[in-house]
Amino acid sequence: MAPWARVTQRLFQIVQIIGLATGGRLGVRVTDRLGIQTTRQTILRRIMALPLEPVEKVPQIGIDDFAFRRGRKFGSILVDLQTHKVLEVLPDRAAKTAAAWMAEHPELEIISRDRGGDYAAAVRKAAPQATEVADRFHLYKNLTEAVEIRKQAEESARKEVPQEVQDALATSKKAFSPRTWKPVPAPRDEQERLARREQRFDRYQQVLALKAQ
């Protein structure tokens, strides 16, 4: 036992192993069956007590914020974009905290982040050599906004079209129904279709020749 400890080192490690395998709530169910008196908070503290692996050279990272307490306390999480492993959890989302971590890694080449100003300032200060890219969520968000803007522009332009043009467009839509319209096949697909047709025709000619014999 360690000084002032209430559990043995072996029991401490057992709770850690159960916590890593199951988590907090499920871990309590397992420890109850084993006769170990503990709580889910204790299991999580045992997991947090594990030492982190040292961060070696990492050329690509992603950084984003999360809430320790929703709406009150926020932190930052850094992830290796190549291995998808968590590198560090920062106590806040301030620019100086993120910049201090980035300054220790001059090998950074790509940094994926959100559109917040704090992380942008941290990159400019501590990693100006790195290329900044938007994360996947904001790429989707930008795409959605671009589509909505395009749709609104088309609707506003459609309202300005004269009535006779709208009638002509409506007539053309009736003539060419989406149910009967077929897209133009790709050149490669068309070549493959013609090659299969040629093979079938050759086989048919062979059948006729054999029948004549």
Strand 60-69 relative to strand 131-134, pairing: unpaired
pLDDT of amino acid 170: 66
Q: What is the mean pLDDT of the chain?
A: 85
Note whether 37 and 9 are within 8 A (CB): no
Q: Cα Rg for the chain, rounded, in angstroms? A: 32
Q: Which residues contact 55 (CB under 8 A, 6 or more apart)?
A: 87, 88, 105
Token pair 């306390």 is at which residue? 73
- Using the predicted structure, report yes or no on whether residue 6 has a pLDDT greater than 90: no
How far from 189 is each of 91, 183, 192, 196, CA to CA, in Å? 56, 12, 5, 11
Q: Where are the domains of the chain?
A: 9-48, 60-134, 139-175, 183-213
Q: State the CB neighbour count (10 A cutoff) for residue 46.
A: 22
What's the pLDDT band for 171 if we cut at 50, 70, 90? low
Calculate mean pLDDT across residues 135-163: 80
For the domain made up of 60-134, give the CATH fold: Nucleotidyltransferase; domain 5 (3.30.420)
pLDDT of amino acid 177: 56
pLDDT of amino acid 183: 63
Q: State the CB neighbour count (10 A cutoff) for residue 27.
A: 26
Give the tokens for residue 83: 């291995």
177-206 pLDDT tens trace: 555 556 666 777 778 888 888 889 989 999
Percent of the chain with pLDDT over 90: 37
73-113 pLDDT tens trace: 899 999 999 988 888 888 998 899 999 999 999 899 999 98
